[in-house]
Amino acid sequence: DVKVTQSSRYLVKRTGEKVFLECVQDMDHENMFWYRQDPGLGLRLIYFSYDVKMKEKGDIPEGYSVSREKKERFSLILESASTNQTSMYLCASSLGLAGKNEQFFGPGTRLTVL
């Protein structure tokens, strides 16, 4: 059973703070993703990674960066948090094999930036 965990369920930060959101998966998946979920906007891809130290921008990368030093861990970094980054953040992972496409999601981190 795939398990994707995120470091926090709820997080409150102040404008300008540096924020780290961490995601860990235990199924040796090659691909990992960070999404943000906002009402009426669905899931929007921020960044994804298909291998250790590899990353690609998604649709809304501005204001974010990522780090993948180990296969099981994918971190999302907000260098200087702003109020418009208040959102639900979802991490996901999937196998890197063609035909094995299911994305497994973490429980989410609800971030509030004051």
Partner 1 sequence: GENVEQHPSTLSVQEGDSAVIKCTYSDSASNYFPWYKQELGKRPQLIIDIRSNVGEKKDQRIAVTLNKTAKHFSLHITETQPEDSAVYFCAARGANNFNKFYFGSGTKLNVKP
Residues of this chain that interact with partner 1 (CB under 8 A) are 4, 31, 35, 40-45, 48, 50, 56, 58-59, 90, 94, 96, 98, 101-103, 105-108
In the complex, least distance from residue 88 CB atom to partner 1, rounded to whole angstroms: 10
Cβ distance to partner 1 smaller for residue 59 or 62: 59
Cβ distance to partner 1 smaller for residue 85 or 94: 94
In the complex, least distance from residue 62 CB atom to partner 1, rounded to whole angstroms: 16
In the complex, least distance from residue 4 CB atom to partner 1, rounded to whole angstroms: 8
Q: How far is CA 56 from CA 38, 46, 73, 95, 114, in A?
A: 22, 9, 16, 16, 29
Contacts of 103 (CB under 8 A, 6+ apart): 33, 92, 93, 94
Closest to 96 in 3D by CA, of 47, 50, 48, 44: 50
Helix locations, the chain, DSSP H: none
Cβ distance to partner 1 smaller for residue 16 or 96: 96
CA distance 9 to 12: 10
In the complex, least distance from residue 7 CB atom to partner 1, rounded to whole angstroms: 15
